[in-house]
Structure formats: structure tokens, C-alpha cells
Amino acid sequence: MVALVLASTSPYRKALLERLGVPFECVAPGVDEDTAKGKETSPIAIARLLARAKAKAVSQQRSKDVVIGSDQVCALDETVLGKPGSKAAAEQQLKLLRGKAHLLLTAVAVQRGSKVEEFVDVTTLRMRDLTDAEVRRYVELDQPLDCAGSYMFERAGVGLFDRVEGEDHTAIVGLPLVKLCEVLRGFGVEC
């Protein structure tokens, strides 16, 4: 059986991959995301670059294993909204997104040795026109300080939106499992 490695320490991606019932190991990729982001300007290029960099970093140590690298970028037009880190920054991001549609770009790179398969899932989310009180209440409730865009769709954050368009709802949480399963089967991983 082929060994599977998730090049991530994200608890969200780990929980999603566990749903497949396939044994895997999590390994921190050690990629400097800020430096990598400085090399690209478009949100989709940033997501792809980081997914590739994560898969490559771990694959260099584990060349016989199938390595999954993934990154997610929240983009309002061409503006990238990162992890807020504080309640004030989370509230600011949500106020910027309210009443507007934005993209959640989830890039995945699967690598084994020199073989690499990549894809990007694009989800469009339209946030309701939230009041300041709703924004404050939500941030206090979910504490989305480590989530790009300042919301946790898999928790109470789902109530922030009035429209979601995409191919795979698991991509919103951080790992598009439908396409990932297809790619993993091509690498000999049964899922």
C-alpha cells in the first residue's frame, strides 16, 4: 500500500482527510508563506504556488510517498484576505465582505517523486449585508482568527451567506475531497 502524507498542520484539512478512512500522516511543510506570497500577485497564482511548495517540501523528504499540499486564498476581487489573527481584524474583514461576493480558491498539489498533479477549486460566496452587531456577534461566537476571510463555514459562519456556488462544499473548509479522491486513485491510493 502507498503511504499517504498530508503536508499540513491544519486541523481542518486533517479532519477532512480523515473522512476518507485512508491512513495518512501529517507533516509540517516548513514553507515560508509570506516569502512565497511575495513572488506572485494574483490570488489564484498565490494559492497554486503555495500548494506546490508545500507538496514539494515534504516530497523531498518522502519521495516514495504520495504527498498532498494544499493552500486556500480568500479573494475579494484581486485583494487577498488572510488569517486575521485578532478580533478587530476579523471584524474589519467581515465588514469589507458584507453584501459582496468573493472567491475562495483552494489549490491542491499531489506529488510522488517527480509526478505532480494539480488542481484549483473555485467557490463563489456571497455574504449577506450584515450589521455591525451581527459581525461582532459572529466573531465572538466562532472566533475565526485563523481562517482566511474571517469565517468558519463549517460552523456558525454558514449563516453569514445568502448564496454559495461551487463544485465541492468540502473545498470551503480547506480540501476539495471529490477531486482529491479522483487524483489520489491515479496515484494508487484507494479512496
Q: What is the per-residue pLDDT across 128-146, written as a single tens digit (0 to 9) for each?
A: 999 999 999 999 999 999 9
Per the annotation, the verdict on 71 as an active-site residue is: yes
Residue 137 belongs to what H/E stretch? Answer: helix 132-142
* Residue 88 · residue 96 · CB < 8 Å: no
The mean per-residue pLDDT over the stretch 12-38 comes to 90
CA 102 to CA 76: how far, in whole Å? 5
List 73's β-bridge partners, or say none: 105
Residue 1 has pLDDT above 70, yes or no: no
Specify the pLDDT at position 165: 97
Q: Mean per-residue pLDDT for 155-173?
A: 96
On the 0-12 / 13-18 / 19+ scale of CB atoms within 10 A, 77 is exposed
CATH 3.90.950.10 fits 4-186, yes or no: yes
Grid cell in block for residue 162:
445568502
Report the DSSP pairing between strands 101-112 and 79-81.
unpaired
The angle subtended at Cα 151 by Cα 109 and Cα 48, nearest 5°, is: 20
pTM over 0.85: yes
| Confidence class for position 89, pLDDT limits 50, 70, 90 | very high
Q: Which member of 71, 121, 142, 146 is catalytic?
A: 71
Average pLDDT, the chain: 95
